[in-house]
Amino acid sequence: MTLWDCIVVGGGIAGSVVASTGPNLKILLVEAGTNTHAVENIEWIDMNNAIGGEYDWGFSCVPQTHLDNREIVSPVGKGLGGGTIINGAAWARGHKVDYDIWAERVGDPRWSYEGQLPYMKKTESLFDNFTNPLSHGHTGPVKVQSPGSTDHVFPLREPLLESWKELGIDALPQLDNNAGDNVGVADLQENRDQGKRQLASLVYSLKGITGLTDSLVAKVLVEKHPKDGHLVARGVRLENGTEILGRKTILSAGAYRTPQILMLSGIGSAETLKKFDIPILLDQPAIGQNFHDHVLIPTIWQLKDASARYAKESGNPIVNQSHHAIGAFIDFITVTSLEKEGLVVAIAEDEGSVPDPTVHPLLKQDRAHSSHLLQYSGVSADGSAVLMISVVFIILSEGREVVAGELAAEPLTVNSTDEQIDARVREMAAGCYHPAGTASMVTVVDTDLRVIGVSDLRVVNTSVFPVSVSANLQVAAYALAEQAAEIIGSTMKKC
């Protein structure tokens, strides 16, 4: 039987990066989904068409009591490339405070913003050399574009900037929110190359790596060391019963499958394992806990007649040019923080006492809270209105020239009650498809990403994020994997 130097489970962002950095090792990459490299035009697949299709795991949650008992779907990419097959391609880092909190939580400065910045830069190739050059990479495998770099701009661009400014939200320097501070208005950057999506498993070469696709890992093979009885990972077992042996095993199976595989391997909460008659090798109750995602709340607005030419399918020849058919129909990403004075009052009302601003997690640091993306959506089903979609609820000031009003049975206004707003959230809130935290750093893995209590087993994917990042998770996942590859390479001769 072949003994692999390293078995990497999962061919998404993290798995592709880690596998590609060990060309001198005998590495096996095991992916449950298909070999997308053999799929014609896979780089042109549209997110809306991909979700719910053959490249989506199709996960959903149990009915949520506080969301009108709705089942919330959570698309996850299935196939070589993982999430990069089906995601929206937004390229956003979040706020430096997110990573500094991460480092503080785990007690390791390598996971601070400054600690992760070299790896963020290493993975990217920005569209120019003068946008915050000290904060960006220009030679990495992932190409990054912006509306301006691709002429992917819209006629409402200036009115939107003016509107945000009127609301007290300024444009960030050079319209770049990937330089440590993301609070403000910025161009929406995307990891696309001339409009094409970039699969992680293609931009990070897997040449020399053995790939095994359409192969579901059922468990990690874990046994007790004959000398001292400590647990050691010896490889994996596939769903069909095939056992594959490896000196080291890395789980890059995402925030849902990673804790599942660990628990099926006998590593998890003893109470849960007993419930499913799984032999308990290690009682680790933190596995599967600390799940976090971003909440998405869409609203649809009708543009005034005079502004109809600004939207997709409106007939405006500028907007209907071919390059606007590629990528998101969005100019800007606007990130806002919470207004502290009003928040103190709200917390006191909800929690029954005035919060200490030096301790309370919502008050002690200025950080991003909400992202607002306005998408030029097209025409309504009956053709009577030109629409704009906002992925969060935004109260626009009176007299706004481009928006006529929200399209809803009972439109929200500045006078809407808490009860009305709560009802809308229960009705419309969904996940943002950014799952993380389920095999968290410090509680499940150490800061070298080794599973605590099991030798020769690591986790490298968003499940190790101990805290939420105020952005899409792509950049953070790439940076994590780049640093993980360096850690693994520096601490072990093989894998």
Which positions make up the binding site for FAD? 217
- What is the rounded CA–CA span in Å between residue 242 and residue 2? 12
**Annotation: binding site:** 217
The one-letter amino acid at 13: I
Query: Nearest 5°: phi and psi at 82?
Result: 55, -130
CA distance 123 to 181: 19
- Written as six digits, the tokens of 333 are 């990403």
Tokens of 456: 């020769």
Amino acid at 24: N
Cα Rg of the chain, angstroms: 23
Instruction: Report the C-alpha gap between 123 and 91 in whole angstroms.
Output: 12
Instruction: Tell me the C-alpha to C-alpha distance, in Å, between residue 145 and each of 174, 207, 434.
Output: 14, 26, 21
Count CB atoms within 10 A of the CB of residue 162: 11
* Environment class of 448 (CB within 10 Å of its CB; exposed 0-12, middle 13-18, buried 19+): middle
The Cα–Cα gap between 100 and 107 comes to 10
Contact at 8 Å (CB) between 460 and 254? no
Q: Residue 10 and residue 25: Cα distance in Å, rounded?
A: 18
| Cα–Cα distance for residue pair 154/166, rounded to 1 Å | 20
Contact 143, 193 (CB under 8 A): yes
Q: Do 258 and 80 form a contact (C-beta atoms < 8 A)?
A: no
Closest-CA residue to 136 (of 97, 83, 84, 173): 173
Token pair listed for 252: 């890059």
Tell me whether strands 142-143 and 231-238 are parallel, antiparallel or unpaired: unpaired
What is 160-182 written as a DSSP string? HHHHHHHTT-PBPGGG---SS--
C-beta of residue 85 within 8 angstroms of C-beta of residue 34? no
